[in-house]
Amino acid sequence: MLTTRSAYLFLAPSLALYLLFVGLPILQIFGFSFFDWDNGIAGDFIGLANYGRLLADGVFWTALWHNAIWVVLTLAFPLLAGLVLAAILAERNASVVRWLGAIYFIPRTIPLVVAGIIWGWIYNPIFGLLNFALEAVGLGGLAGAWLAQDNTALLSLNVVGAWTFFGFCVIIYLAAIQSIDPSLYEAASIDGASWWRKFRDLTVPLLRGSTLFLGLYAAIEAMRFFDLVWVTTQGGPGYSTEVLTTHIYKTFFLVGDFGYAATLSVVLLIIVLSISAGAFALLRKS
């Protein structure tokens, strides 16, 4: 380890860029949130009044609730799928792993904007593949306008989110499984343990660190995702897919209420920072 002041020179370019375009705006939104804004011009200092508005803002609570649902769904489905798929792939030969790993990851390489367009078609009530497939297997009664009905829109979007995310979980879990000492599995096999027992008693507990990492990653992404909702439903129908980021975007660009948009941004920032602080505490412990 070198003790040197030239470290600051090495840090300077990335730190400058980061502070100017991320750090400074974050300080500013804290400041903005204490003022009354009119047409993009700061007016009176109003203390915590913008924060008081949160309590009465039904859209804010609806959006927050949707983000919470999104967190739970993302933790439940793509993470679990990734874990099971990785555990199965771990015992297959290298070329199968390489190919399936690549196939599962392909949706992650597709921009969310394009993913939204593709799945918008699959969900289309008139010509969409989903309704077509349901009718083909005799479940035509379940067919619907998936993204246009407020009881199915959020869940349908989550399937798209999961589509882009589960392959990432497979890759992270696979890398972790491959670093587990194989003799543990051999010993279990000699004891006559079934695949399921090895999965439950060895793989799952030993991958706790990866699960924490992916859980944190998924929760943060679930709090801050924007593109997918914006290109498909823009928060609708009604407010049925409204999330915090779309609420911020609309408050800022459509309503022009800078102070309240900043307040919402501060709240979102505090939520994601708290989630990560909690997860880091857990990671330290394990």
Binding to another protein (CB under 8 A) within 188-247 occurs at 194-196, 209-210, 213-214, 220, 223-224, 226-227, 230-231, 245
**Residue span binding another protein (CB under 8 A) among the ranges 58-66, 139-147, 150-158, 265-273:** 265-273
Helix, strand, or coil here: 138?
coil
Helix, strand, or coil here: 43?
strand
Question: For residue 41, what are the β-bridge partners?
Answer: 38
Task: Check residue 43 for interaction with another protein (CB under 8 A).
Answer: no
Name the H helices within 123-257. Answer: 129-136, 153-178, 182-190, 195-198, 204-206, 208-224, 227-232, 244-249
- Tell which positions 84-103 bind another protein, by CB under 8 A: 84-85, 88-89, 91, 98, 100-103
Binding mask 2-41 for another protein (x = CB under 8 A): xxxxxxxxxx-xxx-xx-xxxxxxx-xx--x-------x-
- Residue 184 in contact with residue 131, Cβ under 8 Å? no
Binding mask 109-128 for another protein (x = CB under 8 A): xxxxxxx-xxxxxx----x-
Helix, strand, or coil here: 45?
strand
- Using the minimum distance from each CB to another protein, give the nearer residue, 45 or 127: 127
Give min distance, CB of 227 to another protein, in A: 5
- Using the minimum distance from each CB to another protein, give the nearer residue, 57 or 227: 227
Phi, psi torsion values for 185, nearest 5 degrees = -70, -40
Q: How far, in Å, are 36, 51, 167, 215, 259 from residue 108 at the CA level?
A: 41, 36, 7, 17, 35
Give min distance, CB of 48 to another protein, in A: 18
